[in-house]
Amino acid sequence: MTLMTYAEQVKKFKKMIPIGIKSTFELINILKSKVDVEEISFKNFPYYNLQMLTNNATHCVQNMELQIKPDEMRFRIFRVIENEKSDKYNVGTTKDFIFVVIEEHTRYICSNSNKLFLEMELASGVSQDEYNNEGLVFRSVISHMAMAYCEGYC
């Protein structure tokens, strides 16, 4: 595995990042186009995962300006249905099922499938300002793409 400098990451991946932020509704539709999913309730998701998600979404770069409080967050949790469509996302996943979580306000995304996470994060897009100025959201996406590249996902 070869480590890349930030300049190398930008040169290799910047042109792949879509400009324009997708809404939560659009992200859910993108997810549904990639895999078959069923939305699950919080009761079917381990409490410690919910605590971790809330903490991560509270401190994610997308929430730096918004400052959405934990009690205002609305998580959508999706279980990926196992079938041919989802087979490519099972690589490196040892969990009982693949999940994707999207927080409605911040658009924070979490998944236990690295490949699906990367595809969803990339699909979420960045603002023109983030793209032009290589802001924190842009840098987060670039670094995740570099890690995925090193792992053979892109």
Per-residue pLDDT tens for 4-62?
Answer: 899 999 999 999 999 999 999 999 999 999 999 999 998 877 777 888 999 999 999 99
Q: Which residues pair with 102 in a beta bridge?
A: 76, 109
> Is it the case that residue 141 has pLDDT exceeding 60?
yes
What does the pLDDT read at residue 36? Answer: 97
Apex 79 CA angle, 77 and 83, nearest 5 = 155
> Is it the case that residue 71 has pLDDT exceeding 80?
yes
Q: How confident is the model at residue 142 (pLDDT cuts 50, 70, 90)?
A: very high
What does the pLDDT read at residue 48? Answer: 77
Per-residue pLDDT tens for 106-134?
Answer: 999 999 898 999 999 999 999 999 999 99
Q: Which residues pair with 76 in a beta bridge?
A: 102
> Is it the case that residue 67 has pLDDT exceeding 80?
yes
Higher model confidence: residue 113 or residue 96?
113
Contact assessment for residue 142 and residue 13, using Cβ atoms and an 8 Å cutoff:
yes
> Is it the case that residue 1 has pLDDT exceeding 60?
no
> Is it the case that residue 65 has pLDDT exceeding 90?
no
Q: Which residues contact 33 (CB under 8 A, 6 or more apart)?
A: none
Which segments of 81-119 are extended strands (E)? 99-103, 109-111
Q: Which strands, in side-by-side order, build the sheet including 109-111?
A: 37-40, 75-80, 99-103, 109-111
